[in-house]
Amino acid sequence: MEKKLLMPSMLKPGDTIGIAAPASPFDRNRFNKGVSVLESMGFNIYIPEEIYNVKGYLAGEDYQRAAIINNLFSEKKIKAVFFARGGFGSMKLLPLLDYKTISKNPKILIGYSDISALLSAIYKKCGLISFHGPMLTTLADAPKKTIHAMLSVLTSQSDIKIKPKRAVVLNPGRVSGTLLGGNLSTLCHLTGTPYLPYFKDCILVIEDRGEALYRIDRMLTHMKLAGYFKGLAGLALGSFTECGQVKEIYKLIQDLFKEYDIPVLAGLEAGHGKENITIPFGLKADLDTDSKMLSIKWQ
């Protein structure tokens, strides 16, 4: 069935951005620097006091972290939801989110890494277009390209053309499909749950950090055996930071996806690398390995 998409309104100067902390505790200094980056763009920032809670390796109790997200979506003045950081903990909130309230109040949702669990679940349950992009603690020292790309995507429904500087074609072709994805290890751990969409007719974007080659193999093989890649239209690889030799990762992916014979383009500056451009998930996109381009359209 064709999913009815929910389009969030784009940000304008003077809009209020709400901050949540659904995963791990965060560094206050880096967080404050990230807040300053958003304020310098002309946005007002709303910070719930509860985001500073700490419970071991989590930023507070599960119900507290989920309540913050639910409240931010229910507040009419909040136009976007950003996150303090990733780490671990977002998937624990998935049964606690108020998907009806989220559906009735579509707004910008942006993050990456562990936040991929939220992007995935909210798309699956609500059809909300979300954004794979920076968080507050990563904005603290983000390069200009990352900041400019984020601002451009979140303030304008202009066509987006992504041409990686170091693009590598792992399998040639041209294809159109719905753009989805996120952090590989997070997506893998959602396999078999009600919160991960199947990727039929989709262009899948994946990235990761600190995973050995055999673990990348195991995760992709797990998802493959579970049928999540059946009917996949194309594959785009973001950064695989601190994951060993990138050539070995590319060879592994060529072997695992060989039977599908789909276009595979590597080298997107998305994920845990130095640059992390913002990519909208849920929109239609074209992947063309001849031009080494990923093109995304709002209409």
- Please name the helix (run of DSSP H) or strand (run of DSSP E) that holds residue 253, with its range, or none: helix 246-256
Are 181 and 111 part of one and the same domain? no
- What pLDDT band is residue 172 in, cutting at 50, 70 and 90? very high
Q: Which of 24, 90, 113, 239 is catalytic?
A: 113
Are 295 and 190 a contacting pair, CB within 8 Å? no
101 and 215, same domain (yes or no): no
pLDDT band at 1 (very low <50, low <70, confident <90, very high): very low
Assigned domain for 133 exists: yes
Q: Report whether 31 contacts 137 (CB < 8 A).
A: yes
Question: In terms of domains, do 196 and 230 share one?
Answer: yes
Residue 210 located in a structural domain:
yes
Looking at 132, 155, 178, the residue that finishes a domain is 155
Same domain, 181 and 265: yes
Q: Is 272 a catalytic residue?
A: yes
Could you tell me whether strands 293-297 and 160-162 are parallel, antiparallel, or unpaired per DSSP bridges? antiparallel
- The structure tokens listed for 143 are 């390069």
> In terms of domains, do 103 and 230 share one?
no
Distances (CA, A) of 32 to 22, 40, 78, 126, 136: 17, 12, 19, 31, 8
Q: Which of 185, 211, 269, 272 is catalytic?
A: 272
3-state SS class at 295: strand
Query: What pLDDT is stored for residue 298 in this prediction?
Result: 87
Q: Does residue 2 have a pLDDT over 70?
A: no
Q: How far apart are CA 299 and CA 25, in angstroms?
A: 38
Among residues 106, 128, 155, the one where a domain terminates is 155
Domain that holds residue 118: 16-155
CA-to-CA dists, residue 116 to 174, 176, 211, 244, angstroms:
26, 22, 16, 22
In a domain, 5, yes or no: no
- Do 268 and 145 fall into the same domain? no
Same domain as 211, residue 111: no
Residue 113 annotated in active site: yes
The answer to whether residue 9 is domain-embedded is no
Q: Quick one: 151 and 165 in the same domain?
A: no
DSSP calls for 83-147: ES--SS-GGGGGGGS-HHHHHHS--EEEE-GGGHHHHHHHHHHH-B-EEE---HHHHTT--HHHH
Looking at residue 3, its pLDDT comes to: 59
One domain for residues 83 and 121: yes
In total, the chain counts a number of residues equal to 299
How many domains does one find in the chain? Answer: 2
**In this structure, is residue 7 part of a structural domain?**
no
Residue 2 lies in a domain: no
- pLDDT tens digit string along 29-65? 999 999 999 999 999 999 999 999 999 999 999 999 9
Q: Examine the domain organization and report whether 246 and 209 are in the same domain.
A: yes
Asked which of 134, 155, 176 is the last residue of a domain, the reply is: 155
The mean pLDDT of 119-134, rounded to a whole number, is 97
For residue 1, is it within any domain? Answer: no
pTM summary value: 0.96
* Shared domain check, 143 and 50: yes
Q: Report the amino acid identity of residue 60.
A: G
Cα separation, 27 vs 31, whole angstroms: 6
The pLDDT of residue 4 is 84
Same domain, 87 and 181: no
Residue 11 domain-assigned (yes or no): no
Lateral strand order in the sheet of 293-297: 160-162, 293-297, 284-288, 174-183, 202-209, 234-241, 264-266, 168-171
Catalytic residue selected from 120, 185, 207, 269: 207
